[in-house]
Amino acid sequence: MQLVLERCTIRPWRLDDAESLARHANNRKIWLAVRDLFPHPYTIQDAHEFLQRTISEGLAMKFCIEIDGVAVGGIGVHPGEDVHRHTATMGYWLGEEFWGRGVMTQAVTAVTDFCFENFLLRRISAEVFANNPASARVLEKAGFTFEGCLKSDVLKDGKVLDSLLYARTT
Ligand SMILES: CC(C)(COP(=O)(O)OP(=O)(O)OC[C@H]1O[C@@H](n2cnc3c(N)ncnc32)[C@H](O)[C@@H]1OP(=O)(O)O)[C@@H](O)C(=O)NCCC(=O)NCCS
């Protein structure tokens, strides 16, 4: 799978992405917006482990965001199970030096379209911490609908936060 877009390319992760992955992912501002599963500090060892795990999963829908030939971000689609097997959730991050150029809006739109076209999915959702208006804006621009505010849903960095639920359906 490779999606060549105007502002970036979406492609599978490769083992040789480790150095650039660690460099761009090692950012507290990114960590504050994502799950605690995402390491901080993000070391080269974390990058090697993530890449080995992801590549060995084979069918994993976890993709690299590449700009100018370098891995600078990630976008992952996580399929639901059981009665949620026609749904998926999405998560994403981008290296700070590339923020504000419309990269993630394009990436989220293209990956969502790709998943609806190629998998038996009827719904893709994403949850944004309520203190992250930039990510909420990305989802709105990518055609996601705001479905509601989940009160006190998240405990991040010692603070209880609401999260905002967005989804696109077919
Ligand atoms: C959130 C993130 C993915 C955005 O990526 P990006 O490529 O900069 O996003 P885009 O440039 O496509 O769009 C950003 C939009 O948010 C807007 N925005 C930025 N900061 C904002 C703020 N503080 N308040 C409101 N809107 C804001 C921008 O103006 C832009 O909207 P516009 O095109 O209408 O002007 C990126 O900042 C990031 O990786 N952050 C850390 C990790 C993260 O938040 N992941 C998502 C977890 S749900």
User: Mean pLDDT per segment of 10 residues, for the chain of length 170 residues?
Assistant: 97 97 98 97 98 86 96 97 97 98 98 96 98 98 98 98 97
Ligand 1 pocket member 138 (CB < 6 A): yes
Protein residue with its CA nearest to atom 15 in ligand 1: 134
Q: Are 24 and 32 contacting, i.e. CB atoms less than 8 angstroms apart?
A: no
pLDDT score for 58: 74
Protein residue with its CA nearest to atom 21 in ligand 1: 134
Ligand 1 pocket member 142 (CB < 6 A): no
CA distances in angstroms from 61 to 23, 32, 44, 76, 132, listed in the order given: 22, 23, 22, 6, 24
pLDDT score for 169: 98
pTM strictly above 0.95: yes
